[in-house]
Chain A
Amino acid sequence: MTLRARIVVRRPAFRLDLDLTVGRGEVVTLLGPNGAGKTTALRALAGLIPLTEGSIELDGVRIEREPAERRPVGVVFQDYLLFPHLSALDNVAFGPRCQGRSKAEARLRARELLDRMGLAEFSSVRPHRLSGGQAQRVALARALAVEPRLLLLDEPLAALDAHTRLEIRSELRRRLTGFDGATVLVTHDPLDAMVLADRLVVVEDGAVVQEGTPAEIARRPRTDYVARLVGLNLFRGEGDGDRVTVGDLAFAAGERVSGPAFVAFAPRAVALYRTRPDGSPRNLWEGRIDGIERHGDHIRVHVDGPVPVAADVTPAAVAELDLTPGRRIWVSVKATETHAYPA
């Protein structure tokens, strides 16, 4: 393990307490809503705020008492914070200079890094003349120039417009793969998190609520926040083998589970009927349409009832079923597309 940390930061009306381990070459993303404490955790790792309690161990060395300038940590800040009075080259050379290298040596190293980032021709340009994507690459080069063992990135894509974001996201993924130390990235954007992370750590209210690979998290969310992010209906109930009871409803699911359990299914696994369907499909109940909205190339229908669910239907179905807010409707979910797992 490269990074092993327990970060406790206490403030009036806020407490951050999380355990974090990051392996060599691994990219861990802290994902959570604004105010969850992700950035606080990052600042604590960087040494910009003190820990109230806990420890930070990097490559077997305790660093929580070291000041920021003595930690082998590189940071890419949210707005990049490139020094406005220095050229791109001197921004990147800043770290090596501080580590005691000669001006020529530092610049040589900076030039190499800018070259690798495909920014060779921008080395003499001041930050305000760089595009968002270029500034991000300079910021990454500057953070890597100090040869950190831990790389921290705070919302590295937030400052970019949607247009360039896609391309820069995959490019960043590639560059992070090339870094052999531990990487911790903070974001509130689920897509960024899914693409950039080897492992996700979901933080809510200063605590870890879920941890796992992006695929695991996307399939088995454990909080409403995560469920909303990955676009699943999520309920908490009690499992008794075949079924999970949520309030008055008993869900049949693809998996057997006993004790406290989650039930999750995608909005497209939900079918809507104007009258009670024939036969005896399981997972069936009656509800009232609460709202209808466009969602990509389909229509998302929110149905209130024993449990509130979101259903995705085609525009044709909306017309056919005459779906309007306030209408009563039958809802069913295929058992094979319903996932149950222990809570």
Chain B
Amino acid sequence: MRSRVPWLLVVPAVLGMAFLVLPLAGLLVRAPWSTLPQRLSEPQVLEALRLSLVTASVATAVCLVLGVPLAWLLARTDFPGRRLLRALVTVPLVLPPVVGGVALLLVLGRRGLVGQWLESAFGFSLPFTTAGVVVAEAFVAMPFLVIAVEGALRAADVRYEEAAATLGASRFTVFRRVTLPLVAPGVLAGAVLCWARALGEFGATITFAGNFPGRTQTMPLAVYLALETEPEAAIVLSLVLLAVSVLILVALRDRWVGAAA
């Protein structure tokens, strides 16, 4: 028979679990359930929700278009500095988002290295616009997609790609007709993760895009702002984000949560 589980491990484990679960429970307990429908239909809430969904989706699309090829490059080719590049790509994963926002301002801001040129050449400026929100979200979320897709590519059997090559497929055709379909589940999982990260983005967004209702004020920003003026509205907005997170977990349960079981 197995010996008893040592309480020196059980007690911290239970405390840890409580620490993770209680705040969420608190959110549910304190939620103004009676006024919830009314709160949710307030124009400001709807506006923030719409903006969040749109920007997170566009940011995910941007990440897919740029990130999948980047993941392919990292997984399927060998060039000097590949490992360094891979490390650089993952920096935004660990970088405090607010630092990312500052960095974006320095490059894409009106006086920034690229932003200056954008402004003079096209009269186009990113900071404090909805497009800026997308840029900030994509910057923070893309590493999630790249890492997920690169992992899927490395796990995929390259012999299928060799078979395609012997059938006359160019490398791009191999990618489009064989590699991509084979790693589609990985790409989908990466995209969902990326979208979730973009949806929750706060630091880089408020730094780079500011906090203008209807233009750059996404859900997390609205939550933060509402907390000072209308705590109940903050709770409602938080509930919405919590619901979205749970939905994502359910959607990915086989890939991520179930994987370890």
Interface residues of A (CB under 8 A from B): 46-48, 67-71, 73-75, 77, 79, 81, 83-85, 94-95, 98-99, 142-143, 145-146
Identify which of B165, B167, B181 contacts A85 (C-beta below 8 A).
B181
The reply to whether B165 and A69 form a contact with Cβ atoms under 8 Å apart is yes
Does residue B4 face the partner (Cβ distance < 8 Å to A)? no
The reply to whether B178 and A95 form a contact with Cβ atoms under 8 Å apart is no
Does residue B76 face the partner (Cβ distance < 8 Å to A)? no
Q: Which residue of chain B has the shortest Cβ distance to A78 in the bound complex?
A: B159
Q: Given A75-B163, A81-B159, A83-B160, are A98 and B182 neighbors across the interface (CB < 8 Å)? A: no
The reply to whether A67 and B168 form a contact with Cβ atoms under 8 Å apart is no
Does residue B164 face the partner (Cβ distance < 8 Å to A)? yes
State A84–B184 Cα separation when bound (angstroms). 12
Q: Which 10 A-B pairs have the closest CB atoms?
A: A98-B168, A95-B167, A68-B165, A85-B181, A81-B163, A75-B166, A98-B169, A69-B165, A69-B168, A48-B162
Task: Name the A residues within 8 Å of B162 (CB-CB).
Answer: 46, 48, 68, 77, 81
State A143–B168 Cα separation when bound (angstroms). 10
Known: A46-B166, A146-B167. 15 other contacts (CB 8 A): A47-B166, A77-B159, A77-B162, A79-B159, A81-B163, A83-B164, A83-B178, A83-B181, A84-B182, A94-B164, A94-B167, A94-B177, A95-B168, A98-B173, A142-B167
The reply to whether A73 and B166 form a contact with Cβ atoms under 8 Å apart is yes
Q: How far is the CB of A167 from chain B (nearest CB, A)?
A: 25
The reply to whether B163 and A77 form a contact with Cβ atoms under 8 Å apart is yes
Q: How far is the CB of B104 from chain A (nearest CB, A)?
A: 38
Q: Which of B11-33 contact A (CB under 8 A)?
A: none
The reply to whether A98 and B166 form a contact with Cβ atoms under 8 Å apart is no
Q: Which residue of chain B has the shortest Cβ distance to A48 in the bound complex?
A: B162
Q: Given A83-B178, A84-B182, A85-B181, are A98 and B163 neighbors across the interface (CB < 8 Å)? A: no
State A75–B173 Cα separation when bound (angstroms). 18
State A67–B178 Cα separation when bound (angstroms). 18
State A99–B173 Cα separation when bound (angstroms). 11
Q: Given A48-B162, A75-B163, are A99 and B168 neighbors across the interface (CB < 8 Å)? A: yes
State A51–B54 Cα separation when bound (angstroms). 52
Q: Which residue of chain A has the shortest Cβ distance to B159 in the bound complex?
A: A81
State A286–B170 Cα separation when bound (angstroms). 67
Q: Which residue of chain B has the shortest Cβ distance to A99 in the bound complex?
A: B168
Count B-side interface residues using an 8 Å CB cutoff.
17
Task: Name the A residues within 8 Å of B163 (CB-CB).
Answer: 75, 77, 81, 83
Q: Given A94-B177, A98-B173, are A81 and B160 neighbors across the interface (CB < 8 Å)? A: yes
The reply to whether B166 and A69 form a contact with Cβ atoms under 8 Å apart is yes
Q: Which residue of chain A has the shortest Cβ distance to B182 in the bound complex?
A: A85
Q: Which residue of chain B has the shortest Cβ distance to A73 in the bound complex?
A: B166
Q: How far is the CB of B78 from chain A (nearest CB, A)?
A: 14
Q: Which residue of chain A has the shortest Cβ distance to B164 in the bound complex?
A: A94
Identify which of A67, A83, A145 contacts B165 (C-beta below 8 A).
A67
State A68–B166 Cα separation when bound (angstroms). 5
Q: How far is the CB of B135 from chain A (nearest CB, A)?
A: 34
Q: Which residue of chain A has the shortest Cβ distance to B160 in the bound complex?
A: A81
Q: How far is the CB of A212 from chain B (nearest CB, A)?
A: 29
Q: Which of B132-171 contact A (CB under 8 A)?
A: 157, 159-160, 162-170
Q: Given A75-B163, A81-B159, A94-B177, are A69 and B182 neighbors across the interface (CB < 8 Å)? A: no
Q: Which of B162-197 contact A (CB under 8 A)?
A: 162-170, 173, 177-178, 181-182
Q: How far is the CB of B152 from chain A (nearest CB, A)?
A: 14
State A95–B168 Cα separation when bound (angstroms). 6
Q: Given A48-B162, A81-B160, are A69 and B169 neighbors across the interface (CB < 8 Å)? A: yes
State A46–B160 Cα separation when bound (angstroms). 14
State A239–B182 Cα separation when bound (angstroms). 62
Q: How far is the CB of B99 from chain A (nearest CB, A)?
A: 41
The reply to whether B166 and A74 form a contact with Cβ atoms under 8 Å apart is yes
Task: Name the A residues within 8 Å of B173 (CB-CB).
Answer: 98
Q: How far is the CB of A95 from chain B (nearest CB, A)?
A: 4
State A79–B157 Cα separation when bound (angstroms). 12
Interface centre among A67, A70, A98 (most CB of B within 10 A): A98
Task: Name the A residues within 8 Å of B178 (CB-CB).
Answer: 83
Interface centre among B165, B173, B178, B181 (most CB of A within 10 A): B165
State A81–B181 Cα separation when bound (angstroms). 15
Task: Name the B residues within 8 Å of A81 (CB-CB).
Answer: 157, 159-160, 162-163
Q: Which residue of chain A has the shortest Cβ distance to B165 in the bound complex?
A: A68
Q: How far is the CB of B181 from chain A (nearest CB, A)?
A: 4
Q: Which residue of chain B has the shortest Cβ distance to A142 in the bound complex?
A: B167
Interface centre among B159, B162, B164, B168 (most CB of A within 10 A): B168
Task: Name the B residues within 8 Å of A99 (CB-CB).
Answer: 168
Q: How far is the CB of A208 from chain B (nearest CB, A)?
A: 24
State A16–B261 Cα separation when bound (angstroms). 46
